[in-house]
């Protein structure tokens, strides 16, 4: 083998090593994205209509919901149809 052939072979081997590093990095990023997506969850929703004792809808009522376990609060105001 010539020195030129050895240099070419070592460059090809180095490129193959870089390709495997790139493939491993891409696989790691994709795996992290899958785990992150799996941790996303729907917390649900609350909806309804506010009415007075006569059954008429009430607009502009401030609503507040609290999650007991975390004490997180969410607020909404009824619209002109009494919906929240």
Q: Give 9-39 as a DSSP string.
A: HHHHHHHHHHHHHHHHHHHHHHHHHHHHHHH
Low-confidence ranges of the chain (pLDDT < 70): 1-18, 26, 32-43
Write down the pTM of the prediction.
0.46
Q: For residues 55 and 51, what is the distance between their CA atoms, to the nearest angstrom? A: 5
E-strand stretches of the chain: 62-66, 73-77
- pLDDT attached to residue 44: 75
In the chain, what are the domain boundaries? 1-41, 45-84
């Amino acid at each position: 083998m010539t020195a030129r052939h050895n240099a070419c072979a070592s460059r090809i081997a180095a490129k193959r090593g870089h390709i495997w590093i790139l493939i491993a990095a891409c696989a790691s990023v994709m795996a992290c994205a899958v785990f992150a997506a799996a941790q996303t969850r729907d917390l649900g929703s609350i909806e309804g209509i506010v009415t007075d004792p006569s059954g008429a809808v009430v607009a502009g009522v401030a609503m507040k919901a609290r999650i007991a376990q975390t004490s997180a609060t969410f607020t909404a105001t009824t619209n002109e149809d009494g919906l929240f």
